[in-house]
């Protein structure tokens, strides 16, 4: 048996799994997005009609879609820098020679990532409860009036952003820590000999050496935050006044609440196109920054 055939034989099981559980569902969802597949079509396939780009056209003229997209962009624009900043800060803390009990600290900071969203969301709902939450209790001690964190449209999304950052920053922290440990210590030693301050070392050594890592973390974080769903679903159920409805939450409502599966599939592909465009823009800006 020649080498190319052997290689294809070894990868065939993985390709079959990817084809059955990824490629086929994606193609099926694409076909659904071009139809009016709903509860009536689910009961009788003869009620299914091909509508072409009608679902996409209807979504683009629907105020709720643009509102959900605005909430999602707000979540990404605020959450991604906060998450990456917290991750980089925690990674630098763990990488510092002055840090003690590093394994315990690393485990504690990473623990929220592997904790069930529903369980920690319940705890956060108690912490931010208007009447008996710990957050409002601490504010009351310094003379600040209680805030309706999850019931006020102005505060609901910032609360969800804080929860998401706390829940997810540990994953990026591990990636940043690996990037920091790959930086040659000789660079910092030479900089200290030349009299460079800690800020200059961070600016001229750490950040440039972490640029590929930051690009990867940025793309992963942006892609993950565009798929906002679990946090508002558990904490606010899209409220108050639909102020925390994201694009993915809208897709869930369309597909599993109203059974408009064609419209839900169209929402999914519109979100994919937006994420693809943002990722391509990030890669292009990164390449432009590398040019002399």
- What is the block-wise mean pLDDT of the chain (292 residues), using blocks of 10 residues? 74 90 91 87 80 93 95 96 95 87 89 90 90 90 90 94 94 95 92 91 93 94 94 90 93 91 94 95 85 59
C-alpha Rg value of the chain to the nearest Å: 24
CA distance 167 to 93: 18
User: Residue 227 carries which DSSP code?
Assistant: T
Q: Within 10 A of 141 (CB to CB), how many other CB atoms are there?
A: 8
What is the model's pLDDT at position 9?
86
What is the model's pLDDT at position 132?
86
User: Residue 278 carries which DSSP code?
Assistant: H
CA distance 287 to 291: 7
Report the length, in residues, of the chain: 292
Q: What are phi and psi of 35, to 5 degrees?
A: -125, 175
What is the model's pLDDT at position 99?
78
Q: Residue 142, Cα to own-chain centre: how many angstroms? A: 34
Strand partners, 50: 35
**47 within 8 A of 272, measured Cβ to Cβ:** no
pTM of the predicted model as reported, rounded to 2 decimal places: 0.91
Q: Within 10 A of 72 (CB to CB), how many other CB atoms are there?
A: 23
Dihedral sign for Cα 283, 286, 290, 292, please.
positive
Q: Which CATH architecture has domain 62-290?
A: Orthogonal Bundle (1.10)
Taking the CA atoms of residue 139, residue 145, residue 151 and residue 154 in that order, the dihedral angle to the nearest 10 degrees is -90
**282 within 8 A of 222, measured Cβ to Cβ:** yes
Residue 182 token pair: 């790959």
**273 within 8 A of 281, measured Cβ to Cβ:** no
What is the model's pLDDT at position 291?
62
* b (16+ CB within 10 A) / e for 88-105: bebbbbbbeeeeeeeeee
What is the model's pLDDT at position 43?
74
């Amino acid at each position: 048996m020649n080498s190319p055939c052997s290689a294809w034989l070894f990868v065939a099981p993985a390709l079959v799994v990817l084809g059955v559980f990824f490629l086929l569902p994606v193609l099926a969802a694409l076909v659904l997005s071009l139809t009016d597949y709903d509860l009536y079509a689910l009961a009788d396939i003869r009620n299914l009609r091909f509508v072409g780009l009608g679902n996409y056209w209807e979504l683009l003229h629907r105020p709720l879609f643009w509102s959900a997209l605005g909430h999602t962009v707000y979540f990404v624009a605020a959450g991604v820098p906060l998450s990456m900043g917290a991750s980089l800060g925690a990674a630098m803390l763990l990488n510092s020679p002055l840090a003690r009990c590093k394994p315990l600290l690393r485990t504690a900071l990473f623990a929220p990532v592997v904790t069930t969203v529903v369980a920690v969301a319940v705890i956060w709902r108690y912490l931010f409860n208007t009447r008996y939450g710990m957050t409002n209790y601490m504010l009351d001690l310094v003379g600040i009036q209680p805030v309706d964190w999850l019931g006020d449209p102005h505060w609901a999304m910032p609360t969800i952003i804080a929860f998401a950052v706390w829940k997810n920053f540990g994953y990026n922290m591990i990636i940043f820590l690996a990037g920091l440990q790959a930086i040659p210590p000789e660079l910092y030693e030479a900089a200290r000999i030349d009299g460079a301050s800690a800020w200059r070392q961070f600016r001229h050594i750490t950040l440039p050496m972490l640029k590929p890592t930051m690009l990867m973390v940025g793309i992963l974080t942006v892609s993950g935050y565009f798929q906002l769903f679990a946090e508002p679903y558990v904490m606010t159920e899209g409220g108050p006044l639909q102020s925390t409805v994201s694009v993915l939450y809208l897709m869930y409502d369309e597909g599993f609440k109203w059974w408009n599966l064609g419209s839900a599939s169209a929402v999914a592909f519109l979100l994919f196109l937006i994420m693809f465009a943002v990722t391509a823009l990030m890669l292009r800006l990164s390449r432009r920054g590398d040019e002399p």
